[in-house]
Structure 1
């Protein structure tokens, strides 16, 4: 080996030794701001199928498609006659139970107490007469004026009169005191049961008016007036309409796995659609699902899209530009927490959604509050 070659080898070894133990440095490409170009589909932030909670004939559809409604507005009415009769029957049972309880607590009716007192008075008079007769017969028997049989008859009459008086006094005491404690408790429980039945009947009657679950509009009507519908608790129940809120939409986009560390919750985004070329619509990163498809090596990113002008419609294909952080997050947890100034942590879904549209017919969205039994 020549002297020059030895010098070159020594320089290489020295440089290698000098770099050992130094921390790895991020490249300039890792530090520059990133803008992701993604695509996806718009869908309502809230979308449900509206069901009736009671069975019956639809007597009125009070909605029109694509008209706005407020939460609680009446959308449809079910024939209420049967449920009104149930309320009347339940109210009558409650009044009967309350009357019975009032009679128990009053200790019986006044005429019953008068009758029981009269029986006691009569029994006392009979008892007095029987005692006087027994005393007289006893004196006569001592003088050998009557037989033993006559004395026995007088003693028997006295014992019968005494037993009658005891029974009359007990009856008066029961009428005055009223039923026993356990009987009154049982009747009070019957009153509470009747009151609960009345509330349940009134609740079923209120369900004959199907109301809007939230602010939104009807995307599609699924039944007509005069149709018989089953309650939502029935497996054969039919939805009345598709109801959604399209004034706030969401866009679920596929994001490459390598770009996920640069996304922060609350980051700004811009959308464009073919129906409004040249226009962009603001959006915000609202969710980053902690899931990566092992086949495509991509995750799911959700944008919240304000749509007060209703220029955007569910089902539209969108192109999105998402502003990302200049550096990658230190961990997946930091990425999901969205630790940016003014942006707090937010819960995320445990599984990726499937982009879908609720208009005209979304693939079985969740049932509304109206369809829960």
Structure 2
């Protein structure tokens, strides 16, 4: 009975002693200098490094468009008399592609030039003054007018006495008085013409004629330009993509007639996803390929839209491409746009989350997880800082596992536990 009672209390007591030893044993039995501490295993997120040098971004569909394209139109209206350009035809800069009937424009130019020639001759005469023979002719006219005026004055005086003597009627007397006045007016006009010829044209008359000539010169330039505009010429080397009018049709100014495209260099348009907009174009090798043409053709970024498409939420990128000799590309052709990241210099480059980078008095570095799940600080060099990521190189290799979260609470040599969903 006593043995059973002792065993009944022995097992609970032994268990209590064991719990006390586990909880308080390290405190009493660790070295007095405190060098020994509890081992803490940190749970961490991590990722395995792989070099991004030469890594594929993705392949996306694109579409070819001409680098230069324009719809050509006349600046004047009229009936077409020539429309020689054909769709698909290659033309040179300056080639005549279409003509409007120039008849009315030529007549207008000839009329203005005639008026301008006459005005210039008048101005020359005004500046030079009357010729000697003209002055002599005017002097003779004045002498003749004076003789007629004197004769009319004598006739008027004689018939005035007869009228006062009531020998003639009132109407007959009025006729001679009118003849006297007309002769006096003719003499005065002839004298004024002679005086003007002797003095030359007035300065204000000359300035007025010069102003008229300038106005006619402007009209001549406008008429000549209108005549030149009856020819539609190619502004650059290109291919006629489309005809939008027929020959002998009446066309109006600014009505599109032909569509011209320059295909010596083309552009490839591609819709880029949001995940790629932060890539540096200088770090990319981008090229186009075509199903009907062998080879890869380098591309260079020309412009990038800053607003996404409201339906696809992609951003439109336009890339330039030089067309090699012997290759024919037409607007609208489908292309595949591919790219890869490139880095110059030596050493492989790795992309890690920006949270994985630790910067302190030692410089920039990362925690590398060893095979024994202990971490070691390793220095790195930052080659590119992006949105939420950083590209680094240094004493790291492909296959190394680095900590991506909680880097500031880890100590050198600390044991870690990899979490599910590690990066």
Match of 1:269 in 2: 286
1:137-286 correspondence to structure 2 within 5 Å: 172-232=194-254, 237=255, 239-264=256-281, 268-276=285-293, 279-286=295-302
CA deviation profile, 1:200-258 (whole Å, cap 9, x unmatched): 111111111110111101112222221111111xxxx3x22221112211111122233
Deviations 1:63-120 (CA, angstroms, capped at 9, x unpaired): 2222211111011111111111111111111111111111211223544422455578
Please identify, of 94-103 and 32-41, the stretch whose mean Cα deviation from structure 2 is larger: 32-41
Q: Does the CA contact (< 8 Å) of 1:268 and 1:285 recur in 2?
A: no
SS at match of 1:280: strand
Task: Identify the residue that residue 302 of structure 1 maps to in structure 2.
Answer: 318
Give the TM-score normalised by structure 1.
0.62
User: Which residue of the partner structure matches residue 47 of structure 1?
Assistant: 69
Which residue of 2 is the match for residue 58 of structure 1? 80
Partner Cα distance (1:123, 1:279) in 2:
100
* 1:320 is the counterpart of 2:337: yes
Aligned to 1:371: none
Bigger strand fraction: 2
Which blocks of at least 5 consecutive residues in structure 2 are unaligned? 1-21, 28-35, 148-185, 344-382, 388-423
CA distance in 1, matches of 2:221, 2:281: 50
Q: For 1:333-372, what aligned pairs fall within 5 Å after superposition? A: none
- Contact conserved, 1:41 with 1:316, CA < 8 A, in 2? yes
Please tell me whether residue 83 in structure 1 is matched to residue 105 in structure 2: yes
Contact 1:285 1:304 in 2 (8 A): yes
Q: Is the 8 A contact 1:124 1:165 kept in 2?
A: yes
Q: RMSD across aligned C-alpha pairs, in angstroms?
A: 3.8
Is the CA contact (8 Å cut-off) linking 2:53 and 2:341 kept in structure 1? Answer: no
Aligned with 1:210: secondary structure? strand
Q: What whole-Å deviation, never above 9, does each CA across 1:261-295 have from its counterpart, x for those lacking one?
A: 3232695422122333x543332223333444576
Matched residues in 2 for 1:243 and 1:249: separation? Answer: 13
TM-score norm. by structure 2 comes to: 0.56
Residue 170 of structure 1 and its aligned partner are, at CA, apart by 6.8
- Quickly say closer, same or farther: Cα 1:171–1:244, change in 2 above 3 A: same
Secondary structure of the residue aligned to 2:94 is: coil
Query: What is the aligned partner in structure 1 of residue 120 from structure 2?
Result: 98
Q: Distance between the aligned counterparts of 2:283 and 2:203, measured in 1? A: 66
Structure 1 residues 10 and 282, CA gap change in structure 2 (3 angstroms) = closer
Residues matched between the structures, number: 276
Question: Measured at CA, do residues 182 and 323 of structure 1 come closer, stay the same or move farther in structure 2, by a change above 3 Å?
Answer: farther
* Of 170-179 and 82-91, the range deviating more from structure 2: 170-179
